[in-house]
Amino acid sequence: MTKVLFIDFERCIGCKACMIGCEECSGHDHLSRMFVDELMPGETVAKSPTPCMHCYTPACAESCPVQAIQLTADGTVLSASHEKCIGCKNCTYACPFGIPRVDDDRKLMYKCDLCYDRTSKGRPPMCVSVCPTDTIQFVEEETIKKMAKKPVQYVWNFGDTQIETRTVIGIPDTKTHKYGYYDVQGDRQ
């Protein structure tokens, strides 16, 4: 079974341990591939980790003119190859989630690659290993999509385009009780 990132926004305390752990991950050159964003600046202090969404059909890879972004056999979308990337930023413009970043000095795109050196050997990504609140989890894809105790989102609509991702987001319950949880079918737990 394939494992995916599951992110539960309601658990994030904004500590940025995920970013620091990512910076220390082997081969990342002290550049974090995980970002922590404010959800509604000015309205709340809520934060959220923002990794690559690992799309099944990655627009970043499709837009790369030199094919520097590869998709592994298990569906992980890797950062751009140092040898091929020309820093054109096509990937940044193409990504509907705005995830890839380009280091202009190095002319190199970087983004979360699920710590592929770790996950390909069965170990969790560094962000999961260091998250003190279990906001970021590395779980079986089918388990989280079918057995979640709250609604999850992994299909996103951008106009007429629908994108399915391997990163799964736990959706906060905003319809009734603030701390209530629903299963995937919407039954109160």
Q: What is the average per-residue pLDDT within 79-84?
A: 90
Give whole-number Cα distances, 15 to 33, 64, 87, 137, in Å: 16, 34, 30, 16
pLDDT in tens, 156-188: 999 999 999 999 998 876 554 344 433 443 443
Domain 3-170 grouped into CATH 3.30.70.20:
yes
Q: What is the average per-residue pLDDT within 89-98?
A: 94
pLDDT in tens, 18-41: 999 999 887 777 888 998 887 777
SS3 at position 21: helix
Distance of CA 162 to the CA centre of its chain: 17
List the domain boundaries for the chain: 3-170
Q: Please tell me the pTM assigned to this model.
A: 0.83
